[in-house]
Amino acid sequence: MTIKSGQREFQELSQNQLAALTGIPQSTISAIENDRIRLGVERAKVLARALKCHPAVIVFPGWDVEKESAA
C-alpha cells in the first residue's frame, strides 16, 4: 500500500503538520508518499483519522470504479 500526497495537500497540510497530528515521523510520511516504504493498515487508519476521511481514500487514491474490478 502506498499513499500519495494529494489528500494532505488538499487540506493544505505540510508533512510536518501531518506528522504532528498523527505521531508518524515526517521522514516516514515522506517515504510513504514517495513509495519507499509501505503504508500498512494501521498507519492508513491513523492518517485517515487525522485527514478526516475514510481509509480507502488514502489506500486507493486513484481508484476508478468504472475502469477497475474489485475482484
pTM: 0.79
Class for domain 6-59, per CATH?
A: mainly alpha
**Domain definitions of the chain by residue range:** 6-59
Q: Give the list of residues 6+ apart from residue 7 with CB closer than 8 angstroms, or none.
A: 51, 53, 57, 58, 61
Long-range (24+ apart) CB contacts under 8 A made by 4-9 are 4/33, 4/61, 4/62, 5/33, 6/61, 7/51, 7/53, 7/57, 7/58, 7/61, 8/33, 8/51
**5-62 pLDDT, tens per residue?**
788 888 899 999 999 999 999 999 999 999 899 999 999 999 999 999 999 888 887 7
